[in-house]
Structure 1
Amino acid sequence: MAHQNMHHSTDQSGKQGALHADTQISQRVSFVSYKAFRGQTFRYGMDCATPYGPAFVIMRGPDIVFWGFCDAREAAQIRVDLDKKWQPAAWQEDSAGVGQVAARACHAPAALALSGTAFQHRVWQALLYIPHGQIVSYKNIADAVNSAPRAVGRAVGSNPVSLLVPCHRVLAADGSLNGYRWGLQIKARVLAAEGVALNS
């Protein structure tokens, strides 16, 4: 789903520029409904090493379907919650194999499968058009998908594959970090690595 003149972005020097629908998306993404994951087999990796901290990563076949920065206790609860949503599902721990995929995904395009509603898919697709090293506001995304900022904020917050679907590049209108499911320290660390100068 393409959007012309999707939104305005700010690069690390503070310059404004329009993002267009022909902005290159490096990730290979498929959008599916919640029902599409029911009865599937998932592999997961605990404490996958990344430059920003250990990640909990879930895969279905070759596709990454979940990525979160959390400890083992929170990862276990996330798996319980997803198991209820995707029942009946089979789970296989493969920290070594999934960890290798996660390590590559930090530096190279990855295959993603994003399970959600049609509206969530629109918002997550808009996130994929934000280039590396640039930031946007929630209002920018809301304008791109013709929706209210509050609804967009909820969809951004429910992004299942953080880092690779770059919800960390969305800030409050005043340039503050605002929120991030995995903690503002992680968000700031990722943005700093991408060359974004944050407001002090």
Structure 2
Amino acid sequence: MRFPRLALALALGSAALAAHADPVSYKLDPNHTMVIFSWSHFGFSHPVAELGLGEGTLVFDEKDPAKSSVEVTLPLERLDTHVAKLDEHLKKPDFFDAEKYPVITFKSTRVEAKGSGRYKVTGDLTVHGVTRPVVLDAKLNKVGEHPMLKAQAIGFDATTTLKRSEFGVGAYVPNVSDEIKVQITTEGAVAH
């Protein structure tokens, strides 16, 4: 009787180690993902806008972060500044030209661990038909069972700063700042 229990314990232990050794794929949740960007408006104010997530996949390998990746789509139809006329203006050809370029995408090319749950995520950002490399400073918030979903979940925050003129969206620079600050928060659950 002792041998079968020991064999079962070893098998379960091996399965648990194998589960942690492989990359885990998560589907990002549009209801808990926010991409917020802000800029200076003639030096008087710092408006913000949010881009809603279309689809997103995060692959995370805790043991070997270099095997991790992230890929997201951000449809401009979900752009929200909380000012309807500004939403409309930002979608016009002098800014995002949403009719011609309806989606912003990000696809990572490299993930580097920086210690203490921090990561440098390099990837290709495509805005307005222009693709350029961008670096996100990311922080792992939590990995574990989500109490509401009853599934393995993950959450990250990330920041970066961009120059919008580098993506062909340079209207009104320098009065409306070229520099755009981006803050991201996201969570996702294991994709089945």
The verdict on a shared fold, with TM-score over 0.5 as the criterion, is: no
Q: Comparing both structures, which one devotes a greater share of its residues to helix?
A: 1
Normalised to the residue count of structure 2, the TM-score between the two structures is 0.24
Normalised to the residue count of structure 1, the TM-score between the two structures is 0.24
- Which gives a bigger RCO, structure 1 or 2 (Cα 8 Å, sep 6+)? 1
Q: Comparing both structures, which one devotes a greater share of its residues to strand?
A: 2
Mark the structure with the bigger radius of gyration: 2
